[in-house]
């Protein structure tokens, strides 16, 4: 599968100031496949080592940080010639090696001529709670599930992708029913590579849902393996509550919805664990639509979204046919799925900050405030073609320097104070020529 992150990897390879690269992301988003594919496409040799439960490399960095010895050992273990600039060294699940992250400092300082990329499914947890990556000595790329456009490419719809990226709204409108058809399929399948591959191979909803449920089981296993028994209970409670939290009208995360009488201090670590594992995306409330938006974040009020819209449907046990059709009985769930979709697409963009807005008495709420470069966009998200935007209209009227966005299934239109943008173009709208 073609991933857009490969272009960023190529920039890294060609950068003379290149440092060891950390690719971060949740389990099953395709980090290993991407690095191996990139190595095969752009290097003469790939020296790949899986560090998880591998006794041959368990002590690779425990004796010392002699880079000559370590490079020789990697070559011997992989039976691959380690040639500077021609061999990509991949250390997968590096968090499983003692001193593995620390060693990256010495790759940077003493062996910078070698191209080293590392990945790990729970690197965020490792860096937050234990060994940390050496500041200033590594480059970091974040990886997510396939976006909608990557999903189209995986299905062989490259021409649709090019049309969508052109922002040629007349041509896009001509093909709207194709875009909507594939978007509804994406709502169900999501962007986890294994789910996408299973859909391509079988076109069978039950087979895809089985893959999704297996991935959810892997996540539950990770929770049990990498957290204390008390933490596991709370992590699981937060995780299982996300579908119902998002189905609420204002979607703000409510601790009392986890269990009666729950308090923030009981679940803060559980939420942080899910963030560090890459399983959730946290969107804080913002008090003002001012630059930089992060200066106005209120971390005491937030929404939690899942890393992938397909995983949300599986965790919420949403019937596949309800996601694949316009006229269904999802009601509040439809809004939750649509909003989660938009958040996951925007999250892959660079140099953006996502928040939401609500006033003190909660009489006015905006689904998203997005800082994109030096622009602040108040955004309303509609699941279908409902074009009423009372809250957005009021907000823009109160902040006349802003232009609103409404994501819906309706066609693109410029209404002066607001742009209506089709949901399937929610990310490509921001692409600049």
pLDDT tens digit at each of 433 positions of the chain: 899 999 999 999 999 999 999 999 999 999 999 999 999 999 999 999 999 999 999 999 999 999 999 999 999 999 999 999 999 999 999 988 999 999 999 999 999 999 999 998 877 776 656 677 788 999 999 999 999 999 999 999 999 999 999 999 999 999 999 999 999 999 999 999 999 999 999 999 999 999 999 999 999 999 998 899 999 999 999 999 999 999 988 899 999 999 999 999 999 999 999 999 999 999 999 999 999 999 999 999 999 999 999 999 999 999 998 888 877 667 678 999 999 999 999 999 988 999 999 988 878 999 999 999 999 999 999 998 877 778 999 999 999 999 999 999 999 999 999 999 999 999 999 986 5
SS (H, E, C) the chain: CCCCHHHHHHHHHHCCCCCCEEEECCCCCCHHHHHHHHHHHHCCEEEEEECCCCCCCCCCCCCCCCHHHHHHHHHHHHCCCCCCCCEEEEEECHHHCCCHHHHHHHHHHHCCCCEEEEEECCHHHHHHHCCCCCCCCCEEEECCCCCHHHHHHHCCCHHHHHHHHHCCHHHHHHCHHHHHHHHHHHHHHCCCHHHHHHHHHHCCHHHHHHHHHHHHHHHHHHHHHHCCHHHHHHHHHHHHHHHHHHHCCCCCCCHHHCCCCCCHHHHHHHHHHHHHCCCEEEEEEECCCCCCHHHHEEEEEEEEEECCHHHHHHHCCCCHHHHHCCCCCCCHHHHHHHHHHHHHHHHCCCCEEEEEEECCCCCCEEEEEEEECCEEEEEEECCCCCCCCHHHHHHHHHCCCCCEEEEECCCCEECCCEEEEEHHHCCHHHCCC
**CATH number attached to the domain at 5-142:** 3.40.50.300
Domain ranges of the chain: 5-142, 148-430
pTM above 0.85, yes or no: yes
């Amino acid at each position: 599968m073609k991933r857009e992150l490969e272009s960023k990897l190529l920039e890294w390879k060609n950068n003379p100031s290149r440092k060891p690269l950390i690719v971060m992301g949740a389990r099953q988003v395709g980090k290993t496949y991407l690095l191996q594919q990139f190595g095969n496409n752009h290097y003469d040799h790939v020296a790949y080592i899986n560090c998880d439960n591998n006794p041959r490399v368990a002590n690779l960095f425990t004796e010392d940080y002699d880079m000559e010895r370590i490079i020789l050992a990697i070559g011997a273990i992989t039976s691959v010639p380690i040639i500077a600039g021609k061999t990509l060294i991949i250390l997968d699940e590096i968090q499983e090696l003692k001193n593995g992250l620390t060693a990256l400092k010495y790759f940077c300082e003493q062996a910078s001529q070698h191209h080293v990329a590392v990945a790990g499914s729970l690197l965020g947890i490792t860096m937050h709670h234990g060994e940390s990556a050496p500041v200033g000595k590594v480059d970091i790329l974040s990886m997510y599930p396939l976006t909608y456009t990557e999903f189209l490419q995986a299905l062989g719809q490259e021409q649709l992708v090019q049309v969508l990226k052109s922002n040629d709204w007349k041509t896009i409108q001509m093909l709207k029913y194709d875009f909507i058809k594939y978007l509804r399929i994406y709502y169900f399948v999501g962007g986890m590579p294994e789910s996408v591959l299973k859909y391509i191979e079988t076109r069978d909803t039950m087979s895809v849902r089985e893959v999704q449920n297996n991935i959810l089981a892997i996540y539950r296993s990770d929770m049990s393996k990498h957290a204390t028994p008390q933490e596991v209970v709370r992590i699981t409670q937060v995780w299982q509550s996300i579908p119902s939290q998002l189905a609420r009208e204002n979607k703000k995360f409510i601790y009392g919805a986890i269990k009666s009488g729950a308090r923030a201090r009981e679940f803060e670590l559980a939420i942080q664990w899910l963030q560090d594992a890459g399983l959730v995306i946290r969107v804080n409330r913002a008090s003002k639509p001012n630059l930089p938006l992060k200066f106005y974040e209120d971390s005491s009020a937030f929404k939690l979204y899942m890393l992938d819209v397909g995983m949300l449907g599986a965790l919420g046990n949403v019937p596949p046919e309800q996601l694949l059709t316009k006229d269904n009985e999802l009601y509040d769930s439809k809004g939750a799925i649509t909003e989660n979709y938009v958040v996951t697409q925007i999250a892959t963009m660079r140099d953006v900050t996502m928040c939401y807005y609500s006033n003190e008495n909660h009489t006015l709420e905006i689904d998203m405030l997005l800082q994109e470069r030096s622009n602040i966009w108040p955004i309303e998200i509609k699941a279908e073609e409902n074009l009423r935007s009372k809250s957005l209209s009021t907000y823009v009227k109160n902040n006349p320097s802003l232009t609103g966005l409404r994501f819906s299934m309706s066609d693109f239109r410029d209404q002066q104070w607001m742009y209506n943008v089709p949901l399937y173009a929610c990310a490509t709208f921001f692409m600049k020529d």
